[in-house]
Amino acid sequence: MTLTLISQSKCFKGVQLVYSHFSPTTQCDMRFGIFLPPHARENMQPLPVLYWLSGLTCTEQNFITKAGAQRVAAELGMIIVVPDTSPRGVNLPGDKASSYFGEGAGFYVDATVAPWSRNYRMYSYVTKELYNIITTNFLVDVKRTGIFGHSMGGHGALTIALKNPEQYQTVSAFAPICAPIHSEWGERAFMGYLGKNREFWYKYDTCELIKKRGWLGPPILIDQGTEDTYWKELQLHPELLQSACQQSHVKLTLRMQKGYDHSYYFISTFMEDHLRYHARYLA
Amino acid sequence: MTLTLISQSKCFKGVQLVYSHFSPTTQCDMRFGIFLPPHARENMQPLPVLYWLSGLTCTEQNFITKAGAQRVAAELGMIIVVPDTSPRGVNLPGDKASSYFGEGAGFYVDATVAPWSRNYRMYSYVTKELYNIITTNFLVDVKRTGIFGHSMGGHGALTIALKNPEQYQTVSAFAPICAPIHSEWGERAFMGYLGKNREFWYKYDTCELIKKRGWLGPPILIDQGTEDTYWKELQLHPELLQSACQQSHVKLTLRMQKGYDHSYYFISTFMEDHLRYHARYLA
């Protein structure tokens, strides 16, 4: 497996890199961003690593240019890895027709329905292929791995952590889709990728996974803006996550952030909190 | 003059706004971003204001989404105003043909050559029209006004401050075009907007202005990355600015930043320094 360097820029004494590689999992070229803090050059100690999963329509660029994470990651000595949100350029019929399905909307599932099942395997891509690429090519401490994300990527981070607690020790999210089986976005995506049988949807639904598997890691940190249009439109359902956590005795820190919307202006405001949260538990 | 609100997002307890308005100066609709720190709501004291001028190809979006300035501006209680870099949608022949001329490349001059002279009047737009809009519509302290920018916008900030020291008390820049009359970008733009007679170019050249007018304000702060392709290609010429400042006894803090390029990764890294620099002298 060959990594091709697409770009590199020094940033806060560290370096923001973007690589591409052919992915056997998704059968196409994939890109990811990786920020290496100055500590990565200065010593040969393995560093903690955080995976960021982005929301609908995003590539790796949104987070690395807008979230303002590098400043704090450089201080804390954390590596941040940012995959794309779907396969690209595979040209399946209708894969560019909607913002909620197809390109930019992989939903971090392994599709089981043709024609999507050949390429749309973002769950395996993130948890196996990308995880192995990072572990093999960069000096990361796998025992100090966290995951976080935004909106569709918050759903991805939560479901992936809940299903792989041995691999991800900490998890947090910004305005995550907490109950995709009860949101229009999630229903559209799961119908397309997983088919009509809703039984198969449950294993990608955070609330169902909390009730079934629990979570023994540190309290899950969630920020949700109160001026978030998608929260008001019932796409996100943090209240269902709160109920599921109470029912299952899972510790949740849900912060309703007054006046904030769904944008990177919201994300950048609370990014430092999330990075320090992960650093504290991964220390 | 009516301001139309295009977007607003809470950010670091302040608010990032984008407005549009019809500009008599450029004879088209113009947009600008303005960040109001929490102080703008909390008290009725006029606040210091900083104008940011962006580089080639940018709109107001680049700075407001990528520079990471809101965090520090919110702390310091500073307003930041970000205009677009040119008129848009006026459809002059060739105005979209190049990244270095026409749309996204107004160069902060008042064009004197037809057909550009009707709309491409960014110097007057920034120094008069936008300045008056901000002074009239927002609670700013005009005695505490600074200006800064990047690349073409660094050229804009420097020339505008040097020509209007009563209006702008502080000036700084990231990788500015210090001597446009000696750079390909500047020659192309000035030839198009100002005509063949190079005498008319001098009043928009920072080095010439320094020699002619000097600068009695605080030391000018400039950051320049040493891995900046455009610096290597001799578009920027900070060494000519250094000579001009020495010759004219103007105080300059020129920091060559090792390993940094021309991107917003460089800008975001040193943004906090620049904001604190302006705040210190505008306090």
Q: What is the pTM of this model?
A: 0.96
pLDDT in 10s for each residue of chain B, 283 residues: 799 999 999 999 999 999 999 999 999 999 999 999 998 877 678 999 999 999 999 999 999 999 999 999 999 999 999 999 999 999 999 999 999 999 999 999 999 999 999 999 999 999 999 999 999 999 999 999 999 999 999 999 999 999 999 999 999 999 999 999 999 999 999 999 999 999 999 999 999 999 999 999 999 999 999 999 999 999 999 999 999 999 999 999 999 999 999 999 999 999 999 999 999 999 8
How far is A59 from chain B, CA to nearest CA, in Å? 15
Tell me which chain B residues have a C-beta less than 8 angstroms from the C-beta of A227. 10
Instruction: Tell which residue, B186, B253, B181, B249, has the closest CA to residue B215.
Output: B249
Give the span between the Cα atoms of B259 and A11, in whole angstroms.
9
- CB contact under 8 Å between A268 and B70, yes or no, is yes
- Predicted local confidence at residue B283, as pLDDT: 85
Residues in CB range of B205: below 8 A, 6 or more apart: B159, B179, B180, B181, B186
Of A283 and B203, the structure prediction assigns the larger pLDDT to B203
A107-132: per-residue pLDDT in tens?
Answer: 999 999 999 999 999 999 999 999 99
Instruction: Evaluate whether ipTM surpasses 0.90.
Output: yes
Between residues 126 and 165 of chain A, which touch chain B (CB distance below 8 Å)? none
Q: State which residue of chain A sits closest to B8, comparing Cα positions.
A: A261
Sheet of A140-150: strands edge to edge? A4-11, A14-23, A28-36, A79-83, A47-53, A140-150, A170-174, A220-225, A252-257
Under 8 Å between Cβ of A245 and A210: yes
The predicted pLDDT at position A85 comes to 98
Residues A194-210 have a mean pLDDT of 97
Contact A65 B16 (CB under 8 A): no
From the list B39, B150, B237, B262, the catalytic residue is B262
Confidence band, pLDDT 50/70/90 cuts, at residue A1: confident
Per-residue confidence (pLDDT) for residue B41, from 0 to 100: 76
Between A10, A13, A65, which is nearest B264 by CB?
A: A65
Q: Which residues pair with A28 in a beta bridge?
A: A23
- The beta-carbon neighbor of B268 closest among A11, A266, A269 is A11
Do the chains contact at B264 and A71, CB–CB below 8 Å? no
Cβ distance of A266 and B66 shorter than 8 Å: no
Residues B40 and B18: their CA atoms lie apart, in Å, by 16
Q: Catalytic amino acids of A?
A: 151, 228, 262
Q: Which residues in chain B are contacts of A225 at CB distance < 8 A? A: 10
Between CA B220 and CA B205 the distance in angstroms is 16
pLDDT digits (tens, 9 = 90+) for A218-238: 999 999 999 999 999 999 999
The helix/strand/coil state of B208 is helix
Is the bond into B83 cis (omega within 30 degrees of 0)? no
Q: Name the band, by pLDDT with cuts 50, 70 and 90, for residue A52.
A: very high
**Closest C-alpha among B136, B160, B134 to residue B147:** B160
Q: What is the mean pLDDT of chain A?
A: 97
What value, to the nearest 5°, has the Cα angle with vertex A268 and ends A176 and A47?
85
For A127-166, write each residue's pLDDT tens digit. 999 999 999 999 999 999 999 999 999 999 999 999 999 9
Which member of A16, A264, A266 has the closest CB to residue B65?
Answer: A264
Locate the chain B residue with the closest alpha carbon to A65.
B66
Tokens of residue B67, six digits: 């520079």
Record the tokens describing residue A205, joined without a space.
Answer: 């639904």
Please indicate whether, in this complex, the C-beta atoms of A265 and B11 are within 8 angstroms of each other: yes
Give the A:B interface size as CB pairs under 8 Å.
61
Taking contacts as CB-CB distances below 8 angstroms, the residues of chain B near A9 are 260-261, 263, 265-266
Question: pLDDT class for A244, splitting at 50, 70, 90?
Answer: very high
For tokens 């309703």, the residue is A256
Residue A25 banded pLDDT, cuts 50, 70, 90: very high
The residues in B 225-264 lying below 8 A from A, measured between CB atoms, are 225, 227, 259-261, 263-264
* Any A CB within 8 A of B265 CB: yes
Q: What is the DSSP string of A114-143?
A: TTGGGT-BHHHIIIIIIHHHHHHHS-EEEE
Distance from CA of B48 to the nearest CA of A (A): 22
B273 — contact with chain A (CB < 8 Å)? no
Are B70 and A265 inside 8 Å of each other by CB?
yes
Q: Nearest chain B residue to A229 by CA: give it.
A: B9
Which helix H or strand E contains B21, and what residues bound it?
strand B14-23
Number of helices and strands in chain A (H, E): 11, 9
Residue A236 confidence (pLDDT): 98
Which residue among B65, B266, B269 sits closest to A66, beta carbon to beta carbon? B65
